[in-house]
Structure 1
Amino acid sequence: MKKNIYYSFAVLFCVFTSCSKSNNPEEPGKGGGGYVSGTYWPYTVNNTWYLVNTEDPNDKSDLIIHKELTYNGKTYYQFKPVGAIEGFELTDGFREDNGVFISLYGATSRMGTNTSAGTVIEVNTNLKVGEVFKDEVTLTVSGLASGTIKHINESKILEKAPSATINGKKYLDVIKIEVKHTAINSITGNTVIITYERWLAKGIGLIYEKTKYGELDIKEYSLLSYSVK
């Protein structure tokens, strides 16, 4: 099973390694696993998306929202981590604000090293096709090690399509986005760049994702089934 990318960034940059809107039960022709109006990715605890590698049917990825977090009075949602280190609690989360999707890097304190919290916009679905949006946040590291971790998101709307067919199922009102995420660790000198192409169906969420690590490692996953409310 694919390791959850939301967890992997926390591991990659360990310094010692040098809201959903009004609900409808279901709308015909929109997927069969529920529908939430007014959003491209419904964030509610227990919402689930089951995906499969487009080249390997045995490689599956389950995205499950399993808890809520609060930061600066705002509610964020966290995906259940896969392969997490025992005793290591994730503090990251995601939220939507009127079509703007925001990532939270929660504060951590581990093995004598503290990392501050911060938020960064991942994508603004209100932009026009071809428009580019950039946002960044710098987290401070202190304690046994000191420095910064900078997260930079550069996103672009690739297409707003009336429909898309994934694994034989037709989904309506699909937005295709690209997000280039750069993470720079001043302590280790490491820079990691990951580029995502995501297709989001209105009222349903993620139906397709292509992730590019560096230049050669590319993985693609497509939606098999889902459940949202």
Structure 2
Amino acid sequence: MKKISLLKATILFLWVLSFSSCSNDSSSESFGTSTGNYWPMAVNNAWNLDADGVTQQIKLIGTATFGGSTYYELIDEGATDTYGVKTYMTKKGAIYYQKTGDLNTIENGVTISMKSYEMPILKDDLQVNETWSGTLNPKLNYSYGGTSGTLPVTINYNGKITARDAAETINGVTYTNIIKTTLKVESNINGQITVIDSEYWYAKDIGPIRESQTIDGGLPVIRTLLTYTLN
């Protein structure tokens, strides 16, 4: 039972990394035509967010190449991950993807490995009430007490555009050309389920300006933009 609890926590930590795969093969998708830049990606781009009086920074610190595409490594001072799993972002057409790196860890005698996975967190060419969804099945291996195996993992995600071209005042600054979204992610590891409900606001040519996230129906964690630096 200790093994299963740790594995559930691992998925949870991966999803609280940020404005939260071998993945589905995105090369088979139609990426659409972008309507603007709602998360500018360049090394050293940074967003300082207020989290209940504490300033937390999201920053793009470097690049990596996966499948011939450039991804930007992201660090988030609000992340709760304790396993050193890296997070990356990229944009293809109108679709913004977030990707985790491989997980390899040993804790309490349990060896865990899980391959990287990615999912679309925004499609900027969709209209209000249009949705996107999918299912991921990253491979998760474990070994413990001389035994080893693979646990079934299913991650279902459902995103929706709730507003376009919105205007909001946040921390005394008025932002326009905002896309608002919701994203529900349900992870099932060997029958144990974690549900994360998120709401994200993205301002054109600025990036994320507000995030609200709840885990398994708990209290929401809200972060709002204070300042940003773009390169």
TM range (shorter): 0.7 to 0.9
Report SS of the residue matched to 2:56. Answer: strand
Match of residue 177 from structure 2: 173
Alignment of 1:1-229 (within 5 A): 8-9=13-14, 38-53=36-51, 56-57=52-53, 59-82=54-77, 85=82, 88-111=83-106, 112-144=111-143, 145-186=149-190, 189-229=191-231
- Structure 1 residue 39: deviation in Å? 0.7
Whether the 8 Å contact between 1:40 and 1:99 is mirrored in structure 2 is no
Whether contact under 8 Å (2:128, 2:164) holds in the other structure is yes
Normalised by the length of structure 2, the TM-score is 0.74
**Cα distance change of structure 1 residues 84 and 141 upon mapping to structure 2, 3 Å threshold:** closer
SS in 2 for 1:80: strand
Give the 3 Å change call, closer, same or farther, for CA 149–106 of structure 1 in structure 2: farther
| Residue segments in structure 1 that go unaligned for 5+ positions in a row | 1-5, 13-36
- Contact 1:103 1:122 (C-alpha < 8 Å) held by counterparts: yes
Q: 1:10 to 1:153 in 2, by over 3 A?
A: closer
Size of the aligned set, in residue pairs, is: 193
Deviation of the 1:84 alpha carbon:
5.1
Give me the whole-angstrom Cα distance separating, in 2, the residues matched to 1:9 and 1:61. 18
Residues 122 and 153 in structure 1, CA contact (< 8 A), matched pair in contact too: no
Q: Which deviates the most, 105-114 or 127-136?
A: 105-114
Is contact 2:60–2:72 with CA below 8 Å preserved after alignment? yes
Q: How far 1:162 sits from its partner (Å)?
A: 4.3
Aligned partners of 2:226 and 2:16: how far apart in 1? 28
- C-alpha displacement at 1:101, in angstroms? 1.3
- Deviations along 1:101-140, one digit per CA (max 9) or x if unpaired, are 1122333333343322333222212111001210221111
| CA distance in 2 between partners of 1:10 and 1:224 (Å) | 23
RMSD: 2.5
Deviations 1:34-65 (A, max 9, x none): xxx94100122211111113xx32x2221112
Identity of aligned residues (%): 23
Note the alpha carbon deviations across 1:143-185, whole angstroms, 9 max, x for none: 5141133222200000003422111111121100111111221
Work out whether residues 7 and 81 of structure 1, in 8 Å CA contact, stay in contact via their aligned partners in 2: no
In the TM superposition, structure 1's runs of 4+ consecutive aligned residues that sit over 6 Å from their partners are none
Give the TM-score, by structure 1 length: 0.75
